[in-house]
């Protein structure tokens, strides 16, 4: 899993997540069971899979129940489809190019911090138990 080593260092339980994603997405959808081991996905095959999926959704869902929405379209088509008024706030642009890697790094750092605190709390609890046992035995 060379591609995911930084993720797994920050979030050791990530192996289970990667195994699940491989079993549910990479293997059945993209035919790529080894992507987590660093074998790249074929770009053209991924795009073709994406387009086939979208075409299947459009073919199966009645038009009155489906909104084919493009993120740059703003509030109007979404609000019209939902029967809601257009809000007086600007349409969000959180996923601008280049922003995702920074957000992923920040999320992984906070997860590592939380795991670190849990580990530290466990060590403190063990030390407290050992100290209590030693005190009762008269060693302290």
Phi-psi domain of 74 (left: phi exceeds 0; alpha: psi -120 through 50; beta: other) = left
**Averaged pLDDT of the chain:** 76
Domain residue ranges of the chain, discontinuous segments joined by +: 95-140
pLDDT digit string, tens, across residues 49-98 = 888 888 999 999 999 999 999 878 899 999 999 999 999 998 887 666 66
Q: Whole-angstrom Cα distance, residue 95 to residue 74?
A: 14
pTM of structure: 0.48
Higher pLDDT, 116 or 64: 64
Query: For position 92, what pLDDT does the model report?
Result: 81
């Amino acid at each position: 899993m060379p591609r995911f080593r930084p993720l797994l260092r920050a979030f050791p339980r990530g192996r289970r997540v990667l195994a699940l994603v491989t079993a549910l997405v990479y293997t059945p959808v993209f035919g790529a069971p080894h992507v987590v081991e660093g074998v790249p996905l074929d770009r053209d095959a991924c795009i073709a899979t994406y387009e086939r999926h979208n075409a299947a959704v459009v073919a199966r869902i009645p038009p009155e129940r489906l909104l084919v929405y493009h993120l740059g379209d703003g509030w109007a088509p979404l609000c019209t489809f939902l029967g809601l008024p257009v809000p007086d706030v600007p349409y969000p642009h959180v996923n601008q190019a280049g922003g995702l890697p920074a957000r992923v790094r920040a999320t992984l750092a906070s997860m590592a911090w939380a795991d670190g605190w849990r580990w530290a709390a466990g060590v403190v609890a063990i030390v407290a138990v050992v100290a209590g046992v030693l005190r009762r035995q008269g060693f302290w």
